[in-house]
Amino acid sequence: MDTVINGYRRRWWKEAVVYQVYPRAFYDSNGDGIGDLEGLRLKLPYIKGLGVDVIWLSPHFDSPNADNGYDIRDYRKVMAEFGTMDDFDAVLTEAHALGLRLIIDLVVNHTSDEHAWFTESRSSQTNEKRDYYIWRPGNDGPPNDWTSIFGGSAWTLDAATGDYYLHLFDPKQPDLNWENPKVRAQVYALMRFWLDKGVDGFRMDVIPFISKDQEFSDLPAEHAARPQFVYANGPRVHEFLQEMRSEALAPYDTMTVGEAFGITPQQVPNFVDERHGELDMVFQFGAVEVDRGADGRWVPWKLADLKAVFSRQEKQLDRHCWPTVFFSNHDNPRIVSRYGDDGPEWRVKSAKTMAALLLTMKGTPFIYQGDELGMTNFPFSDISQFNDIWARNAYRDEVESGRYSVADFLMNQNHLSRDHARTPMQWTSGTNAGFTTGTPWLSVNPNYREINAEDVGDGSIYAWYADLIHLRRSHPALVYGDYLDLMPDHPRLFAYRRTTEAEDFLILLNFGPDEQTFQFPMNFPPGDIVLGNYPAPANGSEPLRGWEARIYRL
Ligand code: TEU
Ligand code: CA
């Protein structure tokens, strides 16, 4: 077997397709309304049926759930609502038996304020754990003007000692002090705990935030609206990640993917260049930000901007770096509602077109649960329908402050809410979409009678994902091939090639209901269509029909 293809060193995680599970919303096995690990175990064959290689499990640790598990109280315990450590072990064993690897979510920029380290840390100025977190005296108010990503000041005054602690997210998510070598040693130990159990790696939550500039200067005006660009990429972040590699990851065969929140495309190679020994891959935010304005609120998006993300990635990452591709996750709306057309006429076709983009692009693709069914956004009409801490804080900041009307708030959330992705998986057309026999913790999308996993046969979106994954696996060019955008400015047609010396693929995707013609150059006749979401046209150069996706082998 070649060890290098098209200049890239072969790695299992470069060839893998990943499926993300948000356990709370996946499948409830015991009727308490909350998805759980036994539910995941029961549905492993469903995941395997897609042909994916890896499951990324969103946090399953003990947590008071201020941010649905992204606030961890005990890194070595399973969240009681999700089950027990035995349930976790059963998921891991059965996943491995099915040939699926499992990566877990490492949330170590912050803990829960209910973590024992923080309880001790806040108890006095002199206790042994004081320096596990970031405490500063106030000066007639917070130590600086940093704001939380979830709104409000990033500092909270703690009555016990009269000092402020830093939380770049919610007050219930205090930031760990990575300057303290004992904190780092604790993190590496908990990583080894899970690696020794057999997990295959980590998705790392907001990992670029772990190193803070110790000056703690006020935000420069140009970053006030998007402070993540100040919080990320601190002075010691690369030192810490290299230390993490040697102290925790090195002896194991893992895959790591960091959430590069606040990292510019120019900074990405420093995190993922394989010669540096830091992360294998990161999630860049380009493809989920084309519809966000400078203030983070929703704006209409353009296909040319989405295309530009991938051309930039191809230019900026050399053969020592490896990209990821994703259009959704637990923090984002549904793909088909955001970039496709979720109305009855085009939902299936456009969900398939987006899947074709995801699975023929260069980079390890991440599928988010439910997208393989074409699940759609939820029609929110009232603040009471939201569970997400970001939405609830935004309501306070935007509406209660009088800056925006309720209608503006709902418009924005109906486009961008994180809860769109968190409504329960739609398994059946029965009560509660077959997710639970109890009362679901978050409302099921009312369209579950039409959209559910009862239909995974021929012609379904699920079957199309499986076909695409099979095609990708069969052709190295779809993994390692060069990427070339043939029409960067066309507003509706996305046309690109994936090529190695041995293979040449042309992908044509129509992003809209109207016919589009692709002008095949003379020296470039249409080859065979190897996969398409319509019956094959009589002639490969015929115009593309509404939301048609065609993959040609030239
Ligand atoms: O996300 C980082 C993050 O800041 C995004 O949630 C972003 O703010 C959001 O998409 C709104 O635009 C990670 C996790 O993925 C997220 O679920 C957590 O809430 C957050 O970190 C804190 O742990
Ligand atoms: Ca349950």
In a domain, 173, yes or no: no
The Cα–Cα gap between 349 and 226 comes to: 35
Q: How far is CA 338 from the centre of its chain?
A: 15
Answer yes or no: do 137 and 282 share one domain. Answer: no
- For ligand 1, atom 9, the nearest C-alpha belongs to 331
* Contact (Cβ atoms closer than 8 angstroms) between residue 364 and residue 323: yes
In a domain, 522, yes or no: yes
Non-local (6+) Cβ contacts of 199 within 8 A are 92, 102, 103, 104
Answer yes or no: do 141 and 92 share one domain. Answer: no
Calculate how far, in angstroms, residue 331's C-alpha sits from the geometric centre of ligand 1. 6
Give the pLDDT confidence of 228-286 residue by residue, as tens digits: 999 999 999 999 999 999 999 999 999 999 999 999 999 999 999 999 999 999 999 99
pLDDT above 70 for 326: yes
pLDDT above 80 for 153: yes
Answer yes or no: do 344 and 483 share one domain. Answer: no
Atom of ligand 1 nearest to the CA of 70: 23
Task: Say whether 205 is catalytic.
Answer: yes
Pairing, β 155-158 against β 54-57: unpaired
Mutate which of 57, 205, 209 for ligand 1 pocket (most atoms within 8 A of beta carbon): 205
Per-residue buried b or exposed e for 78-106, using 16+ beta carbons within 10 Å of the residue's own CB? bbebbbeeebbebbbebbeeeebbbbbbb
In a domain, 505, yes or no: yes
Q: What is the mean pLDDT of residues 484-510?
A: 97
Q: Which ligand is nearest to the CA of 421?
A: 1
Range of the domain at 314: 13-109+181-463
Pairing, β 18-21 against β 364-368: parallel
Atom of ligand 1 nearest to the CA of 170: 22
Calculate how far, in angstroms, residue 330's C-alpha sits from the geometric centre of ligand 1. 9
pLDDT above 90 for 294: no
**In this structure, what CATH number is given to the domain that contains residue 71?**
3.20.20.80
Q: What is the pTM of this model?
A: 0.97
Calculate how far, in angstroms, residue 150's C-alpha sits from the geometric centre of ligand 1. 9
Percent of the chain with pLDDT over 90: 95
* Contact (Cβ atoms closer than 8 angstroms) between residue 346 and residue 513: yes
In a domain, 172, yes or no: no
Answer yes or no: do 421 and 500 share one domain. Answer: no
- For ligand 1, atom 14, the nearest C-alpha belongs to 205
Answer yes or no: do 547 and 424 share one domain. Answer: no
Calculate how far, in angstroms, residue 91's C-alpha sits from the geometric centre of ligand 2. 15
* Contact (Cβ atoms closer than 8 angstroms) between residue 151 and residue 394: yes
Answer yes or no: do 157 and 186 share one domain. Answer: no
Q: Which ligand is nearest to the CA of 438?
A: 2
Ligand 2 (single-atom ion) residues, CB below 5 Å: 28, 30, 32, 34, 36
In a domain, 2, yes or no: no
Q: What is the mean pLDDT of residues 115-132?
A: 98
**In this structure, what CATH number is given to the domain that contains residue 130?**
3.90.400.10
Calculate how far, in angstroms, residue 70's C-alpha sits from the geometric centre of ligand 1. 9
Give me the half-sphere count of Cα atoms (radius 13 Å) on the Cβ side of residue 142.
Answer: 17
Give the pLDDT confidence of 197-223 residue by residue, as tens digits: 999 999 999 999 999 999 999 999 999
Higher pLDDT, 139 or 550: 550
In a domain, 26, yes or no: yes
Q: Which ligand is nearest to the CA of 206?
A: 1
In a domain, 236, yes or no: yes
Atom of ligand 1 nearest to the CA of 329: 15
Answer yes or no: do 289 and 337 share one domain. Answer: yes
Answer yes or no: do 198 and 137 share one domain. Answer: no
Instruction: Tell me the pLDDT band of 1, cut-offs 50, 70 and 90.
Output: low
Which residues approach ligand 1 with their CB closer than 6 A? 67, 70, 107, 149, 169, 205-206, 259, 261, 330-331, 390
Give 141's DSSP letter. Answer: S
pLDDT above 90 for 540: no
Give the pLDDT confidence of 391-429 residue by residue, as tens digits: 999 999 899 999 999 999 999 999 999 999 999 999 999
SS3 552: strand
Answer yes or no: do 127 and 92 share one domain. Answer: no
Following DSSP, what letter does each residue of 344-359 receive, concatenated? TTTHHHHHHHHHHHHH
- For ligand 1, atom 18, the nearest C-alpha belongs to 70
The Cα–Cα gap between 486 and 494 comes to: 8
**In this structure, what CATH number is given to the domain that contains residue 490?**
2.60.40.1180
Percent of the chain with pLDDT over 70: 99
Calculate how far, in angstroms, residue 254's C-alpha sits from the geometric centre of ligand 2. 30
Q: What is the overall mean pLDDT for the chain? A: 96
Answer yes or no: do 131 and 230 share one domain. Answer: no
The Cα–Cα gap between 425 and 35 comes to: 9
Q: How many CB atoms lie within 10 A of CB 319?
A: 12
Answer yes or no: do 310 and 242 share one domain. Answer: yes
- 523 CB-contact burial (10 Å; exposed 0-12 / middle 13-18 / buried 19+): exposed
Atom of ligand 1 nearest to the CA of 288: 10
Q: What is residue 476's predicted lDDT score, i.e. its pLDDT? A: 98
Q: What is residue 134's predicted lDDT score, i.e. its pLDDT? A: 98
Give the pLDDT confidence of 56-101 residue by residue, as tens digits: 999 999 999 999 999 999 999 999 999 999 999 999 999 999 999 9
Atom of ligand 1 nearest to the CA of 332: 10
C-alpha to C-alpha distances, 203 to 38, 96, 168, 206, 501, nearest whole angstrom? 22, 18, 19, 10, 33
Answer yes or no: do 338 and 202 share one domain. Answer: yes
Q: Which ligand is nearest to the CA of 326?
A: 1
Q: Given the residues 259, 314, 388, 548, select the one marked as catalytic.
A: 259
How many domains are there within the chain? 3
In a domain, 174, yes or no: no
The Cα–Cα gap between 522 and 393 comes to: 57
